[in-house]
Amino acid sequence: MNRRQSKLSLIRDVVKKYANVVANVLGVDVEIVDKDLNRIAGTGIFKKRVDENILGEAYVYQNVLETGQYKIIENPGEHGLCERCVNKGGCSEELELSAPIKLKDEVIGVIGLICSNTVQKQIILSEIDLQLEFLYQISDFISSKVYEYMENERNKSVINVLTNIIDNVDKGIIMTSEEGQISHMNDSAKTQLHIKTNQNIENIEFVSKNEFIMGKEEYTIKIGDMKFDLLGNLISLPSVISNYNKVFMFNRIKKMKSEAYALTNAHRTITTDAILGKSKYTNALKERIKKFSDSKSTILITGESGTGKELIARTIHSESNRSDKPFVAINCGAIPDELLESELFGYVKGAFTGANSNGRMGKFELSNEGVIFLDEIGDMPLHLQVKILRVLQERKVTRIGSNKPIDLDIRVIAATNKDLKELIKKNNFRDDLYYRLNVIPINIPPLRERIEDIEIIMEQKIKKYNLLFEKDVEGIAEDAKKILLEYPWPGNVRELENTLEYMINLADNYNILKKEMIPENIMNYIQNRDIGNEIETIKKLKDVEKDYIIKALDIYGWDTKGKKMASKKLGIGIATLYRKLDESKCQK
Ligand SMILES: Nc1ncnc2c1ncn2[C@@H]1O[C@H](COP(=O)(O)OP(=O)(O)OP(=O)(O)O)[C@@H](O)[C@H]1O
């Protein structure tokens, strides 16, 4: 039978080291036994007897194990605890000092000092408090080593379980160490990336493209000299185990590329079909886009956050004769002021400290011949507004640190969710820039003002997430749909999309999205609104009574027979019924 090892025996070598340290410092013999009275370490006279079980001669240690208290035996062989010992009467020891080794509250062993001559005995007894303190410290060291060992073992087994799970999921999963080396890669990842099981791959690098599609980020992943473009999530793990520092999870590439990508708009030519909706507004918008897509005039798109401003800008680009030229987007609100200028205009070699020594192209230059999309233009600082105005007027850009203007052939599309006219009033936006931008204005109404769009957006987004998450959701239950149609969607299409993504994630065993899957904030809104409505419709008791009497009479009839029946059903006398009809002046 495979007996369970004692805790001390797990760190046998460490225990032996500590026994030697104590023996060297105190000049006495030392032995360390575990809970089962197996001698794990011993010095001097015990050195040759390590690994023996000393059950029949270790009554003192047994006592320490039971009580958890230290024991000083000044007369070994004659002490009461030595009564049953095999060496009773003939013990060669002069002094025994034993201290427990505790792991939390459990006594896991004993450390014993043995003096075999009177000189040693006197030295130890003369400073007994110090010796005990030292012993306790050593026993603490030993137990902390045991703890560390056990924690490590626990972590290893958790990792084993995790890697087992990871190996059996369909998603590609790559785990990396702090040093950027692959520590584990599941079979799905290997198959998708065509990496052979025994291929020696070590270094991995993740370079974000700063593009997000449905909550996933696009990365270029370099493994040795291979390069992959993958869509997934890179998650940092708590730094407990340095081998498992980051985990990257990605979906089946083929599926993503062939189907899900086809439904998204960020990476390919999109047509107006990507703009979902059948409201009058949306239909008219699609027509307008087709009409002015080839024009060079500047467009200003306004609308609340999440209404689809960027989607429309991309569609215009795709529908235009510049579709094979760059579409360069810059979020003017997300880049710190001091960087925005160089991002937009670029700089030449040595333009400022910290700049790349070769200089860099700005977004205007990068978008040459194509379209530049200035998102969140309302957040653009005033000093840059002047410079942008100049670029728009002159169609030339000059890199920072240079005096050589570069000709531009660009189409500008700007967007904002701010009220630019309000900003102009407060002197936060230049009116001359506003008029330059607002040549073709597109104002997108919030989703709540085009409810007709909601249903078709829901249908299409369900299809999209079905493909992405490999689900088979067929639709939405009627009561759930009613709530989603009534909700005012302050975050517009983005919020609707996120809500569906959330619900589809919950849809494990159902093929219909149910009311219970609607996020709490939406349900809370609907409930609060309903309570509000109820309060408004609370009626006076008298009126409720009157309505109810009328209802009963409508059912049983307004003639004498009907009134008699109604009063019976209402639980009141016929006279009371007549009086109440009289008081409320109620007649048929
Ligand atoms: N009419 C629509 N049809 C399909 N998808 C849409 C529509 N409108 C918006 N979306 C989707 O909603 C999400 C948000 O859209 P987008 O980023 O274009 O909004 P935005 O107005 O630019 O937002 P923000 O002002 O916060 O930058 C995107 O995933 C987009 O594809």
Neighbours of 258 (CB within 10 A): 11
pLDDT at residue 68 in the model: 94
For 16, 109, 133, 142, the CA distances from 8, given in Å and listed in that order, are: 10, 7, 21, 8
Mutate to test the pocket of ligand 1, among 276, 301, 310 (most ligand atoms within 8 A of CB): 310
415 closest CA partner among 392, 440, 390: 440
The CATH topology of domain 272-445 is Rossmann fold (3.40.50)
Collect all residues with Cβ–Cβ distance below 8 Å to 383 and sequence separation of at least 6: none
Residue 282, pLDDT > 70, answer yes
What is the domain partition of the chain in residue ranges? 7-150, 169-263, 272-445, 448-536, 541-583
Q: Which of 80 and 97 is assigned the larger pLDDT?
A: 97
Q: What's the token pair of residue 151? A: 């924690």
Question: What pLDDT is stored for residue 252 in this prediction?
Answer: 57
CATH architecture of the domain covering 448-536: Orthogonal Bundle (1.10)
- Which residue has a Cα nearest atom 25 of ligand 1? 305
Residue 31's identity, in one-letter code, is E
Q: What is the pLDDT of residue 264?
A: 36
pLDDT digits (tens, 9 = 90+) for 141-194: 999 999 999 988 888 888 788 877 887 788 889 989 888 888 888 888 888 888
- Please tell me the predicted confidence (pLDDT) of residue 84: 78
What confidence category does residue 232 fall into, taking pLDDT thresholds of 50, 70 and 90? confident
Burial 152-164 (b: 16+ CB within 10 A, else e): eeeeeeebeeebe
Provide the β-strand partners of residue 405: 398
CA of 504 to the centre of ligand 1 (A): 19
What superfamily does domain 7-150 belong to in CATH? GAF domain (3.30.450.40)
Q: Indicate the helix (H) or strand (E) that contains 164.
A: helix 128-167
Per-residue pLDDT tens for 386-431?
999 999 999 999 988 888 899 999 999 999 999 999 999 999 999 9
| Nearest CA, atom 18, ligand 1 | 308
Q: Note the helical H segments in 193-304.
A: 253-255, 261-263, 280-292
Q: Which of 494, 495, 499 has most ligand 1 atoms within 8 Å of its beta carbon, as the pocket-test mutant?
A: 494
Does domain 541-583 fall under CATH 1.10.3470? My reply is no
Topology (CATH) of 169-263: Beta-Lactamase (3.30.450)
In this prediction, residue 254 carries a pLDDT of 44
**CB 494 less than 6 A from any atom of ligand 1:** yes
Each residue of 469-516: pLDDT tens digit?
Answer: 888 899 999 999 999 999 999 999 999 999 999 999 888 767 899 999
The alpha carbon of 443 and the centre of ligand 1 are apart by a number of angstroms equal to 14
Q: 497 C-alpha to center of ligand 1: Å? A: 9
How many CB atoms are closer than 10 A to CB 460?
Answer: 17
Alpha carbon of 313 to ligand 1 centroid (Å): 10
Counting ligand 1 atoms within 8 A of each CB, the residue from 307, 330, 449 with the most, and so the one to mutate, is 307
| Common-topology check for domains 7-150 and 272-445 | no
* 514-568 residue pLDDT tens: 999 999 999 988 888 777 665 556 677 888 888 888 888 888 888 888 899 899 8
Ligand 1 and 385: CB distance under 6 A? no
How close is the Cα of 522 to the center of ligand 1, in Å?
A: 20
